[in-house]
Amino acid sequence: MPASIASMTKEFTTPTNDTLRHTRALSSLCVKELSFREGKYHWRMLLVWNPQQPKGAFWYLPHDNENVAFDSALYATRTYGGGFLSVISNDERLFGGQDPNRNFGTTAAHTRVCSEQKYPAPLYVAHVFKVIDAFRERSYPYLALHTNSNGYTGNGGEGHISMLQSSSTVLSYPAHAIRQGQRLGLSDEDSLIFIASTTRTPNLAKIKRFNALGINVKYEWVNANRNDCSMSNYVVLTLGSSAYINIEVEHGDSDTQKAIIDKVLSLY
């Protein structure tokens, strides 16, 4: 346990559906609970790391209903070292009505801009990134794992991610002829990575490296006036870094998410 976060964690004693599904796999890893109060919320998060190689790629999992993301994070931790931090919210996407991935605003000014953040969350942000920084090897980007519904629904929330959709601020760079359907691997419209920066034009050389590995890329042009208090926006706007990658696949498509993990980590 890194000394910098030892006082923030406690023994993990209340199993979740995720931990019960993976009792054997977790037995070879270190498992703790991060628990703290901020305003009306009593946050609980599962912290898992590989004791054989605690420094490495480190993943943030904000949505407790995305089982494949947990499975993939466990695979990555056992295979490559590092670890992950996963929000515990009784298998729900939201935590008491708050989307954990829209809770990275630390001031009232942020909350006024971010329609999906209910209250400023400086403690939440500080705790999450203190844990990440304790385990993340500096050569790795900030990493997140998500899953979404099949196809594009057009109404926000789950299912609004698709390689077939672009806008003036979110651009699509496919590595394949994109196909629509249930779990079509790397060519599926839902199989992609998100990267982000403050420049209107992305780093095309970076995108080409991912495309060459068969990875579809979506690029978000981040601006303070459009801050949505997501982890990606916080990394770009507050930390001043474009070293962020979110791996998205369709619900249930564990094989594709693991394949993208392998490909992404081969670059670092």
Domains along the chain? 6-265 (3.40.630)
In the structure encoding, which two tokens stand for residue 65, read together? 């209903």
Picking from 204, 207, 200, the residue whose alpha carbon sits closest to that of residue 170 is 200
| 30-35-36 Cα angle (round to 5) | 150
pLDDT per residue as tens, the chain (268 positions): 888 899 999 999 999 999 999 999 999 999 999 999 999 999 999 999 999 999 999 999 999 999 999 999 999 999 999 999 999 999 999 999 999 999 999 999 999 999 999 999 999 999 999 999 999 999 999 999 999 999 875 544 455 789 999 999 999 999 999 999 999 999 999 999 999 999 999 999 999 999 999 999 999 999 999 999 999 999 999 999 999 999 999 999 999 999 999 999 999 9
For the range 39-42, what are the long-range contacts, defined as Cβ-Cβ under 8 Å and sequence gap of 24 or more? 39/119, 39/121, 40/96, 40/119, 41/95, 41/96, 41/98, 41/124
Residue listed under structure tokens 């790795």: 140
Q: pTM here?
A: 0.96
Query: What is the spatial distance between Cα 232 and Cα 218, in angstroms, rounded to a whole number?
Result: 13
